[in-house]
């Protein structure tokens, strides 16, 4: 009786955990990249992009996670490129400073978290920049040599926060540095330009409803640094494995339940 009950519980738990793992795999996936800044300074660069989907909303959190010294313009994370297959239509983009992140090098403190006037979003069915950037989707805080323009700004009606002049997206304004960055330090404009420490969050409406199996849909992820496409660009590697973690947790839970059942039978 105990054995049959345990088998029944095991089957129900396995079905539930696999369903949850499948939902998790479809709902969130992360990509990371790390490598040396071969353009200038040789510092170790590291970035992460977390893709989440909830209903018909796709969110992306773009983080600079380097623990090295960041004092060169090409150490600043300025863009993310990716593909979705099949192509999805993304609309109504927003860009905000993520919770727990902060501005650095601001001449005047700002409580605004809206970065829609500083960052741009663009989709191109033929790729964002020919053979240089083959990905079709991208966000950037810099023009990257004409890859993004003023017409691509995430919020054209939003005020630009930058005090450095120019028309966004432009320069390093509100690019992303990591928690290791020390304010008002660095080479050239890196010591004075307004930056975001830690991460920026982007949100999009997905036409036609939700994206299923997000991890299988996203590919060709890369992280762009600096203000030109010949500056560092690191390929992203998918890292999330929620199903494996869920199955490990299931094993521990079943073992615990079996011990309890056997103890109850002995009593």
Predicted confidence (pLDDT) at residue 255 exceeds the cutoff of 80: no
3-state per-residue secondary structure call for the chain: CHHHHHHHHHHHHHHHHHHHHHHHHHHEEEEEEEEECCCCCCCEEEEEEEEEEECCEEEEEEEECCCCCCCCHHHCEEEEEEEECCCCCEEEEEEEECCCCEEECCCCCCCCCECCCCCEEEECCCCCECCCECCCEEEECCCCCCCCCHHHECCCCCCCCCCCCCCCCCCCCCEEECCCCCCCCCCHHHHCCCEEECEEEEEEEECCCCCCCHHHHEEEEEEEECCCCCCCEEECEECCCHHHHHHHHHHHHHHHHHHHHHHHHHC
Minimal CA–CA distance to 128: which of 141, 139, 137?
137
> pLDDT grade, residue 65 (50/70/90)?
very high
- Domain locations in the chain? 27-241
Predicted confidence (pLDDT) at residue 129 exceeds the cutoff of 50: yes
DSSP 63-99: EE---S---SGGGSEEEEEEEESS---EEEEEEEEPT
**Tokens 């239509």 found at:** 89
Q: What is the overall mean pLDDT for the chain?
A: 83
C-beta separation of 71 from 185 below 8 A: yes
Residue 61 and residue 76: Cα distance in Å, rounded?
A: 16
CA angle 211, 213, 215 (to 5 degrees): 105
> pLDDT grade, residue 214 (50/70/90)?
very high
pLDDT tens across 81-116, in order? 999 999 999 999 999 999 999 999 988 888 899 999
Minimal CA–CA distance to 172: which of 119, 94, 235?
119
DSSP state of 111: -
β-pairing, 90-97 with 28-36?
A: unpaired
Predicted confidence (pLDDT) at residue 216 exceeds the cutoff of 80: yes
pLDDT tens across 20-54, in order? 444 444 579 999 999 999 999 899 999 999 999 99
Cα dihedral across residues 140, 145, 150, 152: positive or negative: negative
Residue 260 and residue 224: Cα distance in Å, rounded?
A: 53
C-beta separation of 198 from 63 below 8 A: yes
Predicted confidence (pLDDT) at residue 149 exceeds the cutoff of 90: yes
* Integer CA distances (angstroms), 243 to 102, 104, 182, in order: 34, 38, 38
């Amino acid at each position: 009786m105990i054995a049959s009950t345990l088998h029944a519980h095991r089957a129900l738990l396995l079905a539930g955990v696999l369903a949850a793992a499948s939902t998790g795999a479809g709902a969130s996936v992360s990509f990371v990249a790390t490598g040396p800044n071969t353009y200038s300074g040789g510092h170790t660069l590291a970035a992460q992009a977390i893709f989440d989907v909830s209903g018909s909303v796709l969110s992306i959190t773009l983080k600079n996670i380097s623990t090295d010294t960041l004092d060169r313009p090409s150490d600043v994370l300025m863009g993310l490129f990716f593909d979705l297959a099949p192509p999805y239509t993304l609309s109504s983009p927003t860009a905000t400073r993520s919770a727990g992140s902060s501005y650095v090098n601001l001449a005047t403190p700002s409580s605004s978290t809206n970065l829609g006037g500083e960052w741009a979003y663009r989709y191109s069915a033929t790729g964002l920049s020919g053979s240089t950037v083959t990905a079709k989707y991208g966000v950037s805080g810099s023009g990257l040599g004409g890859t993004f323009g003023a017409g691509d700004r995430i919020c054209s009606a939003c005020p630009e926060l930058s005090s450095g002049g120019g028309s966004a997206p432009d320069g390093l304004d509100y690019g992303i540095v990591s928690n290791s960055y020390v304010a008002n330090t660095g080479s050239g404009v890196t010591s004075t330009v307004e930056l975001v420490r830690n991460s920026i969050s982007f949100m999009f409406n997905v036409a036609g409803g939700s994206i299923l199996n997000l991890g299988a849909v996203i590919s060709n992820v890369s992280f762009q640094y600096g203000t030109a496409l010949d500056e560092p660009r690191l390929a992203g590697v998918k890292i999330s494995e929620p199903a494996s973690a869920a199955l490990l947790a299931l094993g521990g839970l079943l073992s615990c339940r079996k011990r309890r059942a056997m103890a109850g039978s002995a009593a």
